Structure 1
Amino acid sequence: MAELSSADAELCRLASDLLSRSHDPDRHRVAVAARGASGRTYLGLSLLSNRVSICAEPSALANAAMAGETDIESIVAVGMDPDDVPQVINPCGVCRELVPMYAPNVRVIVNDGGDVRPVHVAELLPIPWARARSYA
Protein backbone atom coordinates (compact mmCIF):
# COMPACT_ATOMS: atom_id res chain seq x y z
CA MET A 1 0.00 0.00 0.00
CA ALA A 2 1.40 3.37 -1.03
CA GLU A 3 1.08 6.27 1.37
CA LEU A 4 -0.12 9.64 0.16
CA SER A 5 2.66 12.09 -0.54
CA SER A 6 2.29 15.60 0.85
CA ALA A 7 1.51 16.76 -2.71
CA ASP A 8 -1.28 14.18 -3.04
CA ALA A 9 -2.66 15.08 0.39
CA GLU A 10 -2.73 18.70 -0.80
CA LEU A 11 -4.71 17.63 -3.90
CA CYS A 12 -7.25 15.96 -1.61
CA ARG A 13 -7.49 19.15 0.45
CA LEU A 14 -7.96 21.36 -2.61
CA ALA A 15 -10.73 19.14 -4.00
CA SER A 16 -12.40 18.99 -0.57
CA ASP A 17 -12.24 22.78 -0.22
CA LEU A 18 -13.75 23.25 -3.68
CA LEU A 19 -16.59 20.84 -2.90
CA SER A 20 -17.24 22.45 0.49
CA ARG A 21 -17.62 25.84 -1.26
CA SER A 22 -19.60 24.59 -4.26
CA HIS A 23 -21.62 21.56 -3.15
CA ASP A 24 -25.21 21.61 -4.35
CA PRO A 25 -26.94 18.20 -4.53
CA ASP A 26 -28.83 19.33 -7.63
CA ARG A 27 -25.86 20.79 -9.51
CA HIS A 28 -22.39 19.95 -8.13
CA ARG A 29 -21.88 16.66 -6.27
CA VAL A 30 -18.22 15.93 -7.03
CA ALA A 31 -15.05 18.03 -7.13
CA VAL A 32 -11.71 17.01 -8.63
CA ALA A 33 -8.16 18.27 -8.30
CA ALA A 34 -5.48 17.22 -10.78
CA ARG A 35 -1.78 18.06 -10.66
CA GLY A 36 0.21 18.45 -13.84
CA ALA A 37 3.91 17.78 -14.38
CA SER A 38 4.32 21.57 -14.35
CA GLY A 39 3.26 21.53 -10.69
CA ARG A 40 0.08 23.45 -11.46
CA THR A 41 -3.25 22.26 -10.08
CA TYR A 42 -6.43 22.08 -12.15
CA LEU A 43 -9.86 21.88 -10.55
CA GLY A 44 -13.15 20.55 -11.88
CA LEU A 45 -16.76 20.21 -10.76
CA SER A 46 -19.47 17.82 -11.84
CA LEU A 47 -22.30 19.52 -13.74
CA LEU A 48 -25.68 17.86 -13.24
CA SER A 49 -28.86 18.33 -15.24
CA ASN A 50 -31.99 16.35 -16.04
CA ARG A 51 -30.88 15.40 -19.54
CA VAL A 52 -27.10 15.10 -19.40
CA SER A 53 -24.44 15.38 -16.74
CA ILE A 54 -20.67 15.86 -16.86
CA CYS A 55 -18.36 14.27 -14.33
CA ALA A 56 -15.78 16.39 -12.53
CA GLU A 57 -12.79 14.47 -13.94
CA PRO A 58 -13.27 15.62 -17.56
CA SER A 59 -13.91 19.13 -16.26
CA ALA A 60 -10.48 19.19 -14.58
CA LEU A 61 -8.78 17.53 -17.56
CA ALA A 62 -10.32 20.12 -19.90
CA ASN A 63 -9.04 22.93 -17.68
CA ALA A 64 -5.56 21.39 -17.83
CA ALA A 65 -5.69 21.02 -21.61
CA MET A 66 -6.84 24.64 -22.05
CA ALA A 67 -3.85 25.75 -19.96
CA GLY A 68 -1.48 23.77 -22.19
CA GLU A 69 -0.72 21.07 -19.63
CA THR A 70 0.28 17.89 -21.45
CA ASP A 71 1.07 15.54 -18.56
CA ILE A 72 -1.20 14.96 -15.56
CA GLU A 73 0.59 13.22 -12.69
CA SER A 74 -2.15 12.78 -10.05
CA ILE A 75 -5.91 13.20 -9.83
CA VAL A 76 -8.46 12.82 -7.03
CA ALA A 77 -12.26 13.01 -6.88
CA VAL A 78 -14.10 14.02 -3.72
CA GLY A 79 -17.78 13.66 -2.84
CA MET A 80 -19.83 14.33 0.29
CA ASP A 81 -20.44 11.50 2.74
CA PRO A 82 -23.89 11.16 4.41
CA ASP A 83 -22.83 13.72 7.05
CA ASP A 84 -21.80 16.25 4.37
CA VAL A 85 -18.10 15.72 5.01
CA PRO A 86 -15.92 15.59 1.87
CA GLN A 87 -14.30 12.21 1.25
CA VAL A 88 -12.23 10.68 -1.54
CA ILE A 89 -14.41 8.72 -3.95
CA ASN A 90 -13.51 6.46 -6.85
CA PRO A 91 -14.03 7.30 -10.53
CA CYS A 92 -17.16 6.01 -12.24
CA GLY A 93 -16.92 3.56 -15.13
CA VAL A 94 -17.06 6.30 -17.77
CA CYS A 95 -14.19 8.18 -16.13
CA ARG A 96 -12.18 4.96 -15.77
CA GLU A 97 -12.36 4.79 -19.57
CA LEU A 98 -11.89 8.50 -20.28
CA VAL A 99 -9.10 9.49 -17.88
CA PRO A 100 -6.39 7.21 -19.34
CA MET A 101 -7.15 8.55 -22.84
CA TYR A 102 -6.01 12.00 -21.68
CA ALA A 103 -3.66 11.04 -18.85
CA PRO A 104 -2.26 7.56 -19.60
CA ASN A 105 0.27 7.58 -16.76
CA VAL A 106 -1.74 9.36 -14.07
CA ARG A 107 -1.88 8.16 -10.49
CA VAL A 108 -5.49 8.14 -9.31
CA ILE A 109 -6.06 8.61 -5.60
CA VAL A 110 -8.71 6.06 -4.58
CA ASN A 111 -10.63 5.10 -1.47
CA ASP A 112 -10.20 1.36 -1.00
CA GLY A 113 -12.50 0.67 1.94
CA GLY A 114 -11.17 3.64 3.88
CA ASP A 115 -7.57 3.17 2.72
CA VAL A 116 -6.93 6.30 0.65
CA ARG A 117 -4.01 5.64 -1.66
CA PRO A 118 -2.72 6.27 -5.18
CA VAL A 119 -2.94 3.63 -7.91
CA HIS A 120 -1.87 3.69 -11.56
CA VAL A 121 -4.86 4.45 -13.78
CA ALA A 122 -4.46 1.09 -15.57
CA GLU A 123 -5.39 -0.69 -12.32
CA LEU A 124 -8.89 0.82 -12.51
CA LEU A 125 -9.69 -0.69 -15.91
CA PRO A 126 -7.18 -3.47 -16.58
CA ILE A 127 -8.67 -4.61 -19.89
CA PRO A 128 -10.00 -1.41 -21.50
CA TRP A 129 -12.53 -1.25 -24.28
CA ALA A 130 -11.09 -0.48 -27.72
CA ARG A 131 -12.49 -0.19 -31.23
CA ALA A 132 -11.85 -3.23 -33.43
CA ARG A 133 -9.50 -1.28 -35.72
CA SER A 134 -7.36 -0.42 -32.67
CA TYR A 135 -6.16 -4.03 -32.60
CA ALA A 136 -4.74 -3.97 -36.14
Structure 2
Amino acid sequence: MKTFPITAQDEALIKAAQDIISSLYAQDKHHVGAAIRTKSGKIITAVHVEAYISRVTVCAEAIAIGKAISEGEREFDTVVAVRHPYGDEADREIKVVSPCGMCRELLSDYGPDIKVLVPYNGQIVKCDISELLPLKYTRE
Protein backbone atom coordinates (compact mmCIF):
# COMPACT_ATOMS: atom_id res chain seq x y z
CA MET A 1 0.00 0.00 0.00
CA LYS A 2 1.35 3.43 -0.93
CA THR A 3 1.22 5.70 2.12
CA PHE A 4 2.02 9.32 2.93
CA PRO A 5 3.62 10.83 6.05
CA ILE A 6 1.32 11.65 8.97
CA THR A 7 1.51 15.41 9.61
CA ALA A 8 0.68 17.61 12.58
CA GLN A 9 -2.50 18.53 10.69
CA ASP A 10 -3.40 14.83 10.53
CA GLU A 11 -2.81 14.45 14.27
CA ALA A 12 -5.12 17.45 14.83
CA LEU A 13 -7.74 15.80 12.60
CA ILE A 14 -7.59 12.60 14.68
CA LYS A 15 -7.93 14.65 17.86
CA ALA A 16 -10.94 16.51 16.44
CA ALA A 17 -12.66 13.18 15.69
CA GLN A 18 -11.78 11.86 19.15
CA ASP A 19 -13.05 15.04 20.80
CA ILE A 20 -16.43 14.97 19.04
CA ILE A 21 -17.13 11.34 19.93
CA SER A 22 -15.84 11.83 23.48
CA SER A 23 -18.30 14.66 24.02
CA LEU A 24 -21.28 13.06 22.24
CA TYR A 25 -20.84 9.33 22.89
CA ALA A 26 -24.10 7.58 23.78
CA GLN A 27 -24.34 3.82 24.24
CA ASP A 28 -26.16 2.26 21.26
CA LYS A 29 -26.60 5.67 19.59
CA HIS A 30 -23.25 7.30 18.82
CA HIS A 31 -19.91 5.48 19.07
CA VAL A 32 -18.13 6.56 15.88
CA GLY A 33 -16.86 10.06 15.21
CA ALA A 34 -15.33 11.46 12.04
CA ALA A 35 -13.41 14.54 11.03
CA ILE A 36 -12.84 15.73 7.50
CA ARG A 37 -10.39 18.44 6.51
CA THR A 38 -11.33 20.43 3.45
CA LYS A 39 -8.79 21.74 0.98
CA SER A 40 -9.44 25.21 2.41
CA GLY A 41 -8.20 23.85 5.77
CA LYS A 42 -11.55 23.78 7.56
CA ILE A 43 -12.21 20.80 9.84
CA ILE A 44 -15.77 19.44 9.96
CA THR A 45 -16.71 16.86 12.61
CA ALA A 46 -19.69 14.56 13.02
CA VAL A 47 -20.88 11.43 14.82
CA HIS A 48 -22.72 8.51 13.34
CA VAL A 49 -26.43 8.05 14.00
CA GLU A 50 -27.31 4.48 14.92
CA ALA A 51 -30.77 3.03 14.41
CA TYR A 52 -32.38 -0.09 15.84
CA ILE A 53 -32.74 -1.36 12.27
CA SER A 54 -29.07 -1.25 11.26
CA ARG A 55 -29.54 -0.44 7.57
CA VAL A 56 -31.03 2.91 8.60
CA THR A 57 -27.83 3.83 10.49
CA VAL A 58 -25.86 6.71 8.95
CA CYS A 59 -22.08 6.68 9.25
CA ALA A 60 -20.12 9.57 10.73
CA GLU A 61 -18.13 10.04 7.52
CA ALA A 62 -21.34 10.46 5.51
CA ILE A 63 -22.70 12.98 7.99
CA ALA A 64 -19.39 14.88 7.94
CA ILE A 65 -19.46 15.07 4.12
CA GLY A 66 -23.09 16.24 4.15
CA LYS A 67 -22.35 18.80 6.85
CA ALA A 68 -19.32 20.11 4.92
CA ILE A 69 -21.29 20.40 1.69
CA SER A 70 -24.12 22.15 3.58
CA GLU A 71 -21.52 24.66 4.78
CA GLY A 72 -20.35 25.33 1.20
CA GLU A 73 -17.29 23.08 1.17
CA ARG A 74 -16.82 20.94 -1.94
CA GLU A 75 -13.15 19.93 -1.98
CA PHE A 76 -11.80 17.45 0.56
CA ASP A 77 -8.23 16.77 1.67
CA THR A 78 -8.20 14.14 4.44
CA VAL A 79 -10.71 12.18 6.53
CA VAL A 80 -10.54 10.01 9.63
CA ALA A 81 -13.04 7.98 11.65
CA VAL A 82 -12.59 6.88 15.26
CA ARG A 83 -14.48 4.41 17.43
CA HIS A 84 -15.35 4.97 21.07
CA PRO A 85 -15.40 1.74 23.09
CA TYR A 86 -18.71 0.50 24.46
CA GLY A 87 -19.25 0.81 28.19
CA ASP A 88 -18.43 -2.85 28.89
CA GLU A 89 -15.12 -2.92 26.98
CA ALA A 90 -11.93 -3.01 29.06
CA ASP A 91 -9.83 -1.13 26.48
CA ARG A 92 -11.00 2.50 26.82
CA GLU A 93 -8.86 3.95 24.00
CA ILE A 94 -10.66 5.79 21.20
CA LYS A 95 -9.04 4.29 18.11
CA VAL A 96 -8.85 5.14 14.43
CA VAL A 97 -10.98 2.77 12.33
CA SER A 98 -11.18 2.10 8.64
CA PRO A 99 -14.25 3.38 6.74
CA CYS A 100 -16.86 0.81 5.79
CA GLY A 101 -17.44 -0.11 2.16
CA MET A 102 -20.33 2.31 1.68
CA CYS A 103 -18.25 5.17 3.11
CA ARG A 104 -15.37 4.27 0.82
CA GLU A 105 -17.74 4.63 -2.13
CA LEU A 106 -19.13 7.93 -0.84
CA LEU A 107 -15.69 9.33 -0.04
CA SER A 108 -14.38 8.48 -3.49
CA ASP A 109 -17.48 10.00 -5.14
CA TYR A 110 -17.12 13.32 -3.31
CA GLY A 111 -13.34 13.34 -2.91
CA PRO A 112 -11.72 11.29 -5.65
CA ASP A 113 -8.26 12.36 -4.43
CA ILE A 114 -9.05 12.40 -0.69
CA LYS A 115 -6.55 10.90 1.73
CA VAL A 116 -7.79 8.56 4.47
CA LEU A 117 -6.21 7.85 7.85
CA VAL A 118 -6.54 4.14 8.67
CA PRO A 119 -5.02 1.53 10.98
CA TYR A 120 -2.63 -0.73 9.07
CA ASN A 121 -0.12 -3.24 10.44
CA GLY A 122 -0.34 -1.85 13.96
CA GLN A 123 0.03 1.82 13.07
CA ILE A 124 -1.98 4.67 11.61
CA VAL A 125 -1.20 5.40 7.97
CA LYS A 126 -2.44 7.89 5.39
CA CYS A 127 -3.39 6.60 1.96
CA ASP A 128 -5.38 7.57 -1.10
CA ILE A 129 -9.02 6.50 -1.13
CA SER A 130 -8.21 4.52 -4.29
CA GLU A 131 -6.03 2.20 -2.15
CA LEU A 132 -9.16 1.31 -0.13
CA LEU A 133 -11.43 1.03 -3.16
CA PRO A 134 -9.54 -0.42 -6.11
CA LEU A 135 -11.38 -0.91 -9.39
CA LYS A 136 -14.16 1.48 -8.38
CA TYR A 137 -17.45 1.08 -10.20
CA THR A 138 -18.04 3.64 -12.96
CA ARG A 139 -20.57 3.92 -15.75
CA GLU A 140 -17.87 3.42 -18.39
Question: What TM-score, normalized to structure 2?
Answer: 0.89
- Give deviations 1:84-135, integer Å, cap 9, x for gaps: 32110000111111111111110000111321011000000101233xxx11
Q: For 1:78-97, what aligned pairs fall within 5 Å after superposition?
A: 78-81=82-85, 82=89, 83-97=91-105
1:129 maps to 137
State the SS of the aligned residue for 2:106: helix
Amino acid at match of 1:123: E
1:62 maps to 66
1:99 paired residue number: 107
Give unpaired runs (5+ residues) of structure 1: none
One-letter amino acid matched to 2:22: S
Q: Which moved more, 1:106-115 or 1:75-84?
A: 75-84
Residue 7 of structure 1 corresponds to which residue in structure 2? 9
Q: Tell me the residue number matched to 2:28.
A: 26
Q: Deviations over 1:48-88 (max 9, x none)?
A: 01121000001000111011111110000000244232110
2:66, 2:98 → 1: CA distance? 19
Counting matched residue pairs gives 132
Match of 1:71? 75
Q: Which moved more, 1:77-86 or 1:20-29?
A: 77-86
Sequence identity percentage: 31
Q: Which residue in the other structure is 1:116 paired with?
A: 124
| TM-score normalised by L of structure 1 | 0.91
Distance 1:93 1:39 in 2: 26
AA in 2 matched with 1:4? I
Cα-Cα RMSD: 1.2
Q: For residue 44 of structure 2, what is the aligned residue in structure 1?
A: 42
Amino acid at match of 2:134: P
After TM superposition, which residue ranges in structure 1, 4 or more long, deviate above 4 angstroms?
A: none
Q: CA deviation at 1:47?
A: 0.2
